[in-house]
Chains A and B, each alone.
Chain A
Amino acid sequence: MSYSITEPSNRQKWFAGILVVGYALLTLLPLAWIIATGFKTPADAIAYPPKVIFSPSLEGYVNLFTSRSRVTPEDLAALGPPTTWYDAIVRQYDMVINGPSRYGERFMNSVIIGFGSTFLSVFLGTIAAYAFSRFKVPLKDDLLFFILSTRMMPPIAVAIPIFLMYRQLGLSDTHLGMILLYTAVNLSLSVWLLKGFIDEIPIEYEEAALIDGYTRFQAFYKVVLPQAATGIASTAIFCLIFSWNEYAFAVLLTSGTAQTAPPFIPTIIGSGGKDWPAVAAGATLFLLPIMIFTILLRKHLLRGITFGAVRK
């Protein structure tokens, strides 16, 4: 490497590195604690001083996925020996498994609503962004600003009329209602991001295709779409993360059938007080996919979180 007067010295690098790594470790501690607590027994989870070293247990996960009830020791003895490993865990506490808990359902709701709204908002966003990028749309700047400004409204403020509207239309507490709502919220992000990505594709590619006899539609999906694939994929992940994490609308507009995981996880309780290992297990399963996506997305992070205002 050539010598440069602006290159930081090795001592500076070490100093900076130690501070940043220190901050990172501190900031990751709560996340590590969530994962660790999921594998603790309830007794270990509330031990003081906090236990860093403990013998791992799957109790939290068993409690997360099952609903249980207490039985008398006589009834328990009458049941005979436990047939499965999770039965054995539950029986230590004089309990039997009644059936699955609601966590699986709630998680699936998150998946359905997340992917459904992501698909819709990316689809609508892509065609709108293409039109904004390539055609003369009357009042283009005003429309783009309007699309952006929809993000400034506090969700609770929008929720009042949506709540009333959805009740009238029979959309409250349905998957379709939540998908439409999240699509509308995500559209601003998807239009702005995708317009940036499509702007970067040279217009000459399409012109060449048009001269070769392609129609506009063909040029769009045979030339522009493949070129924008990376941009579309990263936009999709950002939309998915938003829908996945959203809480305010979910807690106000869903209760039974379409409730997603974020309003559900905090309501997990055990038989005596809060079952923190089960909460932590639920949180771990729910947060891990996003952690993985974040690592995959790192090159597009900045662009995604700033609506394309900052590009690297």
Chain B
Amino acid sequence: MSLNLAQRVASATPPKLARRIRGVSDRTIAWLFVTPTILLLLAVNIFPLIWTIRLSLTNFRTNRPNNPVEFVGLENYRKILTNPDTWASLQATAHFLIWTIVLQVVLGFSLAYLINKKFRGNDLWTTLIVLPMMLSPAVVGNFWTFLYQPQIGLFNYFIEFFSGVDPASFSMIGDVSLAPWTIVLVDTWMWTPFVMLICLAGLRSIPPSIYEAAECDRASKWRQFWTITLPMALPFLMLAVLFRGIENFKMFDLVVQLTGGGPGATTLLTSIDLKREAFEKWRTGFASAYAVILFVTVFGLASIYVKALNKVKDR
């Protein structure tokens, strides 16, 4: 049906009468309804983005507003891309990103698979597992530093309880080799439920008739998992990875509260590095160029990934 009833009535009504009946035209309403949203987003997102790009070409420093602002071209970009510290923080981010995604996918998918066995009370436990993810990362991250205290922390106590290692002999936050894993661990604790929820939706979307057919064909459970369960849940899994990837590339609150980027620069993720440049060293122009590079990186990687995701979906 290309023309529905309302449209037929509307087209049969003379325009003048229609305006009297309806007050305002649909077109006007559409614009009236969309404009505030677009304006606000332009003001708070696009205008700042353009401003950032402009600042990134200058040597402007917020703490020295009276200094003459000079146009320096792509100098800031050159400095960032040739700075080994930038690459070190990108490396820290990559370590964080890759390991959180691997752990969350494995744990999240396994949990979803188990919950999908529909044992009694699975709804209740699913809801409880989800709780950490909904809480304020800054507040919870701050409390984790208490759990990680070498002398008194609950985490170190657990390690001692199970392995006998002296709880005062290691500090999850203060140790250069442990700190990168500390942030991976807390992020995994917090966000595994997210991957789990999406995987669960994927598993529940598989029609039981496919498994019934596989049973009739005497396919083993193992084979059913690899040829039915995993491929059919894959688009969901990939979507979960996309969301986690974007979020963890932007990661700031949880890690800044946990380690603050330290010890040294071992957990100095790009967002934290950027914050230091912009709001502690006040190198506004430099930091703006950094921000543009990060934004282009997220946007580029996400676009490539979405293309791959769509390919998997269409298959």
Contacts and interface: CB of A to CB of B under 8 A. Distances in A.
Contacts of A261: 139
Q: Which of B30, B38, B125, B291 has the most chain A CB atoms inside 10 A of its CB?
A: B30
Contact of B111 (A23, A131, A154): A23
A310 to B, nearest CB: 5
Interface stretch (A11-19, A69-77, A93-101, A226-234): A11-19
Contacts of B64: none
Interface stretch (B72-80, B82-90, B171-179, B272-280): B272-280
A116 interface: no
B45 A216 contact: no
Contacts of A39: none
B131 A31 contact: yes
Contact of B27 (A47, A135, A188): A135
Interface residues of B, number: 106
B151 interface: yes
A247 B34 contact: no
Contacts of B43: 184
Q: Which of A150, A206, A306 has most B Cβ within 10 Å?
A: A306
B55 interface: yes
Interface stretch (A54-62, A81-89, A279-287): A279-287
B291 A156 contact: yes
B78 to A, nearest CB: 19
Interface in B45-103: 45, 47-49, 51-52, 55, 62
Interface string A182-209: 0111011001000000000001101100
Given A47-B152, A155-B250, A247-B253, A310 B5 contact: no
Contacts of A160: 48, 52, 55, 278, 284, 287-288, 291
Contact of A156 (B119, B131, B275): B275
A298 B127 CA distance: 6
A147 B37 contact: yes
B304 interface: no
* Most A Cβ at <10 Å: residue of B130, B149, B167: B130
B165 interface: no
A260 to B, nearest CB: 10
Given A160-B291, A217-B23, A184 B40 contact: yes
B114 A16 contact: yes
Contacts of A125: 37
Contacts of B119: 13-14, 16-17, 20
B120 A24 contact: no
Contacts of B252: 154-156, 247-248
Nearest to B112: A20
Contact of A291 (B36, B111, B134, B236): B134
Contacts of B44: 158, 162, 180-181, 184-185
B159 interface: no
B271 A154 contact: yes
Contact of B114 (A20, A135, A157): A20
Contacts of B215: 5-6
Contacts of A204: 4
B227 interface: no
A63 B193 CA distance: 34
A161 B128 contact: no
Contacts of B49: 153, 158, 161
What is the predominant secondary structure among interface residues of chain B facing chain A?
A: helix
B34 A132 contact: yes
Interface of B: 4-6, 9, 21-24, 26-27, 29-34, 36-38, 40-41, 43-45, 47-49, 51-52, 55, 62, 111, 114-115, 117-123, 125-140, 142-144, 146-147, 149, 151-154, 157, 167, 189, 192-194, 197-198, 201, 204, 208, 211-212, 215, 236, 239, 243, 246, 249-250, 252-253, 257, 270-271, 274-275, 278-279, 284, 287-288, 291-292, 294-295, 298-299, 302
29 contacts: A6-B211, A6-B215, A13-B119, A17-B117, A19-B114, A23-B111, A27-B132, A30-B143, A46-B149, A49-B157, A124-B37, A128-B33, A135-B29, A153-B49, A156-B278, A157-B52, A181-B44, A184-B40, A211-B5, A215-B23, A248-B271, A251-B138, A263-B138, A266-B138, A266-B257, A279-B142, A279-B146, A294-B130, A301-B197
Given A286-B136, A298-B127, 6 more contacts: A24-B125, A46-B152, A128-B37, A154-B294, A165-B48, A188-B41
Interface of A: 4-6, 8, 12-14, 16-17, 19-21, 23-24, 27-31, 33-34, 37, 46-50, 124-125, 127-128, 130-132, 135-137, 143, 146-147, 149-165, 180-181, 183-185, 187-188, 191, 203-204, 206-207, 210-211, 213, 215-217, 241, 244-245, 247-248, 251-252, 261-263, 265-266, 274, 276, 279-280, 283, 286-287, 290-291, 293-295, 298, 301-302, 305-306, 309-312
